[in-house]
A and B are shown apart, each in its own frame.
Chain A
Amino acid sequence: EAQVTQNPRYLITVTGKKLTVTCSQNMNHEYMSWYRQDPGLGLRQIYYSMNVEVTDKGDVPEGYKVSRKEKRNFPLILESPSPNQTSLYFCASSPLAGGFANTGELFFGEGSRLTVL
């Protein structure tokens, strides 16, 4: 089954304790991206990657890191989490072949709800 898998789905942590949210896709997609969703603000892009070893900042990258060492994986790293990073996080992937928007579809994971105390 084609899917984007995120782990953990739920996490409560404390300020300053490093954590990683993993994202894996089995569709051989070039493009992967992380979003955070907060009430009234919709989905905001944190980082994206167009292929292995190619990453770039989205609209809200502060406090986050990413890596893309393999095509299927795109982990989101919070080196020193703070309460303002409490949010619902989504990973997404998309094929790039043929022009990005022509593919029409971002595939999303089920989300990871993070609470930083």
Chain B
Amino acid sequence: LAKTTQPISMDSYEGQEVNITCSHNNIATNDYITWYQQFPSQGPRFIIQGYKTKVTNEVASLFIPADRKSSTLSLPRVSLSDTAVYYCLVGDGEISNDYKLSFGAGTTVTVRA
């Protein structure tokens, strides 16, 4: 499983765009990139997943450059309710024997009024 590195914390204000970059220098050819969001005392929930270029859904956008050694989660016009921990996860896109999935410490995003 590719190791990921994210900033520990980020602060923002309501209405701003928040961009969180995750580094995964040893990402494998078959690896997808997935982001999760976790509120206090709740389990993480899936936000978005991508393999290359750009993916957008109703919650966020995911930008992946051509070399795929990093990815950026973009949260448009954040609100107070977007205050949470965000995790970047890189894992195999094919069935393999290794399904170990550790999320790391994640990025704590704090949105202020």
Contact = CB atoms under 8 A, between A and B. Distances in A.
Contacts of B49: 101, 104-105
A31 B101 CA distance: 12
B100 A42 contact: no
A111 B95 contact: no
A40 B96 CA distance: 30
Interface residues of B, number: 27
Contacts of A109: 43
The B contact surface, by secondary structure, is loop
Contacts of B41: 88, 111
B44 to A, nearest CB: 6
Contact of A31 (B30, B36, B42, B99): B99
A61 B91 CA distance: 20
Contacts of B99: 31, 33, 48, 50, 56, 100
Contacts of A40: 105
B42 A101 contact: no
Contact of A96 (B36, B42, B95, B106): B95
Interface of A: 4, 31, 33, 35, 40-45, 48, 50, 56, 58-59, 88, 90, 92, 96, 99-102, 104-106, 108-111
Interface of B: 30-32, 34, 36, 41-46, 49, 87, 91-96, 99-106
